[in-house]
Structure 1
Amino acid sequence: MTTLDPRSLLYRQLDPAEAQAIARDTLARCDDGELYLQFIAAETFAFDDGRLKTADYSRDAGFGLRGVSGEMTGFAHANEISAAAIRRAGETLQLLDPAKGQPAPPPRLNNRHLYTDASPLDLIPFAQKVALLETIDAAARARDPRVAQVSASLSASWSVVEIVRADGFVATDVRPLVRLNVSIVAEQNGRRETGSFGMGGRRLYDDLFAPETWNRAIDTALAQALTNLESVAAPAGEMTVLLGPGWPGVLLHEAVGHGLEGDFNRKGTSAFSGRIGERVGAPGVTVVDDGSIAARRGSLSIDDEGTPTQETVLIEDGILKGYMQDRLNARLMGVAPTGNGRRESYAHAPMPRMTNTFMKGGNDDPAELLSRMKSGIFAKSFGGGQVDIVSGKFVFSCTEAYLVENGKLGAPIKGATLIGDGPTVLTRVQGIGNDMALDEGVGVCGKGGQSVPAGVGQPTLLVAGLTVGGTA
């Protein structure tokens, strides 16, 4: 375990007491705001086509100074942590109108740690990381003669953040993050298809180096590639769709989750604006955002404003209960922040963002849900998609899907896309499995030009009347 004091990385040129004094001076005219200090180290290894293609390592440190007055926000940042640089940034906040009300109260203090403070970058030698990818490449190629190409990547980051407020509040969080990805191209009779699998979370590399872990990644990616070699053209039209558990929750994340973030609802631009207490989903549909699950990719001990994360019930039994809130939108809407104020880095201002967003499980047996279907498709895994955040309209491509005929899985299909809008999908849920699962830890969420790690999940879902764009 590392013995380095993470705070020392932030205060090599700035005394902690001086940081608090600067925050007090520069934010004196504001309702709210903070000095956000960050150090981050990151590495990426990529093995492709039988050789190491990438071995990157980077370090960065800087600050973001944000002041909020009413609905106005002033923000400045620099990749230099020094008193002089922060005071220069503070000049930006002089452009804000002086606060007229009482300053917003600080977040409640929190000593909870959802992940280790140790750095995953330091505990395993460089050569061992490369050797793992070489081993994965060789093992995947030995699995099946149809394996034509293997790509494997390993990445990690270690971020230390400190939040300093004018009222004396100070909070520190040390955030590890690791990820392993395996992609396999299989070839048969001149046809090539791809399968992929990834996993990770806020932990160390240890479990990713365990043979049972990376072998599972190989087996899952290979099985998907070989399945797709047998795929037939996807049908098109409106039909019943069975969505698998776990990663297919990315559809819920994009099509519904963004519309439940506080900023869109405060501004009245979401399909869910002003609908608290109304039915927005079928009975049994319960959707939560929970950033407090230990070691998950989307989890945070505190958000990027210092608010402890929590389970926030968004939809309960089909009824809209609330939104995900950062401090600014919560204050303007007269509600409490929910621990969803997130930013990509010190160079970005926070905004309301999802952490781990998922639908809770129901009581239905997934096999029974399949047996209900006369015809349709079973979507087991998704790839990319496009979403209109405001309306929830989406187009998602399936990376592994099957025909369903008379309650049984049929041939795998290729080229299927799901088309619809999130609010409508919620009302068309006809069955909720008892097999809720979170994804394996690979999600990345984009909003407003910022990307943050996020988690998704759901049980098996039976949905009627989804439009399938096919190739048949």
Structure 2
Amino acid sequence: MSIFPDPRRFLYRDNALDPDGALRLTADALKGCDDGELYLQYAASESFGFDDGRLKTADFNTQAGFGLRGVSGETTAFAHANEISEAAIRRAAETMTLLDPAKGARAAPPRRTNAALYTAENPLNLVPFAKKVALCQQIDAAARARDPRVAQVTVALSGSWSVVEIVRPDGFVAHDVRPLVRLNVSIVAEQNGRRESGFFGLGGRYLYDDLFAEANWNRAIDAALAQALVNLESVPAPAGEMTVVCGPGWPGVLLHEAIGHGLEGDFNRKGSSAFSGRIGERVAAPGVTVVDDGSIAGRRGSLTIDDEGTPTQRNVLIEDGILVGYMQDRLNARLMSVPATGNGRRESFAHAPMPRMTNTFMLGGRDDPAGIIAGVKNGIYATSFGGGQVDITSGKFVFSCTEAYRIENGRIGAPIKGATLIGDGPSVLTKVRAIGNDMALDEGIGICGKGGQSVPAGVGQPTLLIEGLTVGGTAA
């Protein structure tokens, strides 16, 4: 039986590795490096997929392992294994010998924090398997009873619990325990032979309690069904350059992709971002302030500490239209001679960290959302987005709208189908002409991909009026 208290018992086991051994091995392996760490992780995850009135999938997985990283100058050596033991770490340390010895002073350890942004309890263990399946059944039945046009219901429930420990060669040790839960409801509605879908999800770094609250899962059903029924009435989207009003909350995913990635430190250090070298310049309209904040309690994109041990914080990136900062991990911050911002993130122990967004959003303004729409003679109102693509170097993006409407003479008109928004990050924020006073964060469903790694992320924004955005449509 392990002598280490829960939850560290998942990382340290008798006759495998103990905390003193981890410190000793890390100091020895990284003695010639500028920076680096041993990253230990145990992760458990589960998911339930309910479709066509029955449970289709039920998965449970655990994994444990470490990643050992050494940094010398701009060069990184990284090795990982799904076995936490002294022997495995020694083998990984052989990779570090390939680095040229560091010439400069060793990087200082991260500052410490006493903050805790979420519970350390394990959501997976607190609710029985049967109760999770029963929730999926209950949501399915309730959704089908809402409207005779409901043809298909898909419910996805998932949760994870991760224990991480970061051990540095200078003796610094940081520890974090991370819960994460999510509920998705998808509904397909059919009318007169036409089928359209709607989706709603919610989640965050908390326990399953919020998802099991009847008011919350009923809200998910109502929102998904409403979107599906709206899309049943949709007409082909217009095409051309026009005024676009983006709704609050989840539409901030456009900001995340079009602007956010271009403000990550690695792209800017290498000069490959459209925002490289532009600190102090105007990159957005007056009133536009963009923030990345990984320190908001319970949010999906939040972390008490990032995956290098740096506490997360509120980072203002664009202030009143002026570019004032980038998101930094330790490596890029050191090479750019700026402080790390708590944005060093990795998908798992098998991945090296890189600068990534946490919760990225635009602050609200002073304009009344209804007044913003009333002032548009001809345009579209986009309230939900699906997939999108962006080129970091040029900043060009393409986004598909999953719920959008025509705006005609200041009124919201017919819903439209097949609309895409086309533009480029460096110019889209300069075209903002009105900023609503209704800033909202998304419901906790974001997943961000970069360099082959996926991490949870949050987005948000107020209602925005963007003048002269290109809309790709399907109307003749």
- Do Structure 1 and Structure 2 share a fold, with TM-score over 0.5? yes
TM range (shorter): over 0.9
Q: What residue ranges of structure 1 are gaps of 5+ in the alignment?
A: none
- Verify the 8 A CA contact 2:312 2:341 in the aligned structure 1: yes
What is the aligned partner in structure 1 of residue 110 from structure 2? 107
Shift of 1:390: 2.3
What is the aligned partner in structure 1 of residue 473 from structure 2? 470
Q: Does 1:10 align with 2:11?
A: yes
What is the aligned partner in structure 1 of residue 451 from structure 2? 448
Q: Does 1:402 align with 2:408?
A: no
Indicate the SS of the match to 2:125.
Answer: coil
Residues 320-357 of structure 1 deviation map (CA, whole Å, 9 limit, x = unaligned): 00000000000000000000000000000000000000
Using the alignment, how far apart are the partners of 1:419 and 1:101 within structure 2?
Answer: 45
Match of residue 252, structure 2, among 233, 249, 264: 249
What is the aligned partner in structure 1 of residue 262 from structure 2? 259
Using the alignment, how far apart are the partners of 2:27 and 2:266 within structure 1?
Answer: 27
- Kindly provide the amino acid, as one letter, of the partner of residue 290 in structure 1: D
Match of residue 234, structure 2, among 231, 235, 238: 231
Q: Does 1:391 align with 2:394?
A: yes
Using the alignment, how far apart are the partners of 2:393 and 2:76 within structure 1?
Answer: 23
Using the alignment, how far apart are the partners of 1:268 and 1:389 within structure 2?
Answer: 11
- Kindly provide the amino acid, as one letter, of the partner of residue 12 in structure 2: Y
Tell me the number of residue pairs that the alignment of Structure 1 and Structure 2 aligns: 470
Using the alignment, how far apart are the partners of 1:50 and 1:369 within structure 2?
Answer: 43
Residues 198-222 of structure 1 deviation map (CA, whole Å, 9 limit, x = unaligned): 0000000001001100000000000
- Verify the 8 A CA contact 2:274 2:392 in the aligned structure 1: no
- Verify the 8 A CA contact 2:293 2:302 in the aligned structure 1: yes
Q: What residue ranges of structure 2 are gaps of 5+ in the alignment?
A: none
What is the aligned partner in structure 1 of residue 341 from structure 2? 338
Residues 230-289 of structure 1 deviation map (CA, whole Å, 9 limit, x = unaligned): 001100000000000000000000000000000000000101100000000000000010
Q: Does 1:146 align with 2:110?
A: no
What is the aligned partner in structure 2 of residue 379 from structure 1? 382
Shift of 1:66: 0.1
- Verify the 8 A CA contact 2:289 2:317 in the aligned structure 1: yes
What is the aligned partner in structure 2 of residue 354 from structure 1? 357
Using the alignment, how far apart are the partners of 1:218 and 1:92 within structure 2?
Answer: 51
Q: Does 1:269 align with 2:268?
A: no
Shift of 1:126: 0.1
Residues 83-109 of structure 1 deviation map (CA, whole Å, 9 limit, x = unaligned): 010011001000000011110000011
Match of residue 124, structure 1, among 124, 127, 143: 127
What is the aligned partner in structure 1 of residue 420 from structure 2? 417
Using the alignment, how far apart are the partners of 1:4 and 1:337 within structure 2?
Answer: 31
- Kindly provide the amino acid, as one letter, of the partner of residue 123 in structure 2: P
- Kindly provide the amino acid, as one letter, of the partner of residue 333 in structure 1: M
Match of residue 184, structure 2, among 177, 181, 186: 181
Using the alignment, how far apart are the partners of 1:213 and 1:404 within structure 2?
Answer: 31
Q: Does 1:31 align with 2:34?
A: yes
Using the alignment, how far apart are the partners of 2:54 and 2:288 within structure 1?
Answer: 47
Shift of 1:4: 6.4
- Verify the 8 A CA contact 2:378 2:407 in the aligned structure 1: yes
- Kindly provide the amino acid, as one letter, of the partner of residue 9 in structure 1: F
Q: Which runs of 4+ in 1 moved over 6 A?
A: none
Using the alignment, how far apart are the partners of 2:395 and 2:182 within structure 1?
Answer: 29
- Kindly provide the amino acid, as one letter, of the partner of residue 19 in structure 1: A
What is the aligned partner in structure 2 of residue 96 from structure 1? 99
Using the alignment, how far apart are the partners of 2:164 and 2:396 within structure 1?
Answer: 36
Shift of 1:111: 1.7
Using the alignment, how far apart are the partners of 1:389 and 1:218 within structure 2?
Answer: 36
Match of residue 163, structure 1, among 157, 161, 166: 166
- Kindly provide the amino acid, as one letter, of the partner of residue 373 in structure 2: L
- Kindly provide the amino acid, as one letter, of the partner of residue 384 in structure 1: G
TM-score with structure 2 length normalisation?
0.98
What is the aligned partner in structure 2 of residue 216 from structure 1? 219
Match of residue 326, structure 2, among 323, 328, 331: 323
What is the aligned partner in structure 1 of residue 293 from structure 2? 290
Shift of 1:299: 0.1
Using the alignment, how far apart are the partners of 1:83 and 1:390 within structure 2?
Answer: 43
Quote the sequence identity (%).
79
- Verify the 8 A CA contact 2:272 2:392 in the aligned structure 1: no
Residues 8-58 of structure 1 deviation map (CA, whole Å, 9 limit, x = unaligned): 110012110100000110010000000000000000000001110010000
TM-score with structure 1 length normalisation?
0.99
Residues 151-186 of structure 1 deviation map (CA, whole Å, 9 limit, x = unaligned): 001000000000000000000000000000000000
Using the alignment, how far apart are the partners of 1:421 and 1:76 within structure 2?
Answer: 37
